Structure 1
Amino acid sequence: MEENPHKGVTGLRRVWLATGYSLDGLAVAYRGEAAFRQLVWLAAVLIPVALILPLDAISRALLIGSVLLSLIIELLNSAIEAAIDRISLERHPLSKASKDMGSAAQLIGLIMIAVVWGLVLLG
């Protein structure tokens, strides 16, 4: 098996490079994925609301965590879609299943936002 030359970087240089790759990933997702942009704007509204509401720390963490988790899910969903599209743009049942499962994960993430926010605010 061929060794990846990028895996030998360690220490602070690895942290620095990883941070750059992460920021690149966020930029690519924001520019290229409408769903991610929508979630970023939703987070830009909901997170400050969660910080302003008179709540205990656990409730606040649940509200913010549910929003951040949905952003994570969308990044993973977009990564799955990009990998599938890189392999082939041909319609294939396994490609469809992969993309549909990523979408289903995001649907569950959005339902979680609604449930958590509903329970915290109405409970």
Structure 2
Amino acid sequence: MVPRICRTGIVWAFTLVTFGNVAPGQTADWSRFRGPDGSAVSDARGVPTDWSDSTNLAWKTELPGPGSSSPIIVGDRVFVTCYSGYGIGRGLVTSRQNLNLTTMHLGVAKLRECEMNP
């Protein structure tokens, strides 16, 4: 079992490597929850205010599990997260309409059960 401090360090290292090279002030990027400055307001003009399965939809993909996080947009990439079980893996999901959809599973160690954690 990996000690808790190591797991935390691994998660922070991944986060810094993945998002650490995003320059502040990039208005085209939605690099965190509620946008670049946390206000949930975009400077973009002409953005659709309504959409459906057939209107104002560029693409969609089915996720392997539930998720409730904000999509992150960096350059021409969109990052979404969901729960798909415990484990570590990486693989190509599909490629359609010139989209490269890749999945990366970040593992979470199962905590051992005890009186405080049944």
Same fold at TM > 0.5: no
Larger helix fraction of residues: 1
Greater relative CO (CA pairs within 8 A, separation 6+): 1
Larger strand fraction of residues: 2
- Normalised to the residue count of structure 1, the TM-score between the two structures is 0.28
- Normalised to the residue count of structure 2, the TM-score between the two structures is 0.28
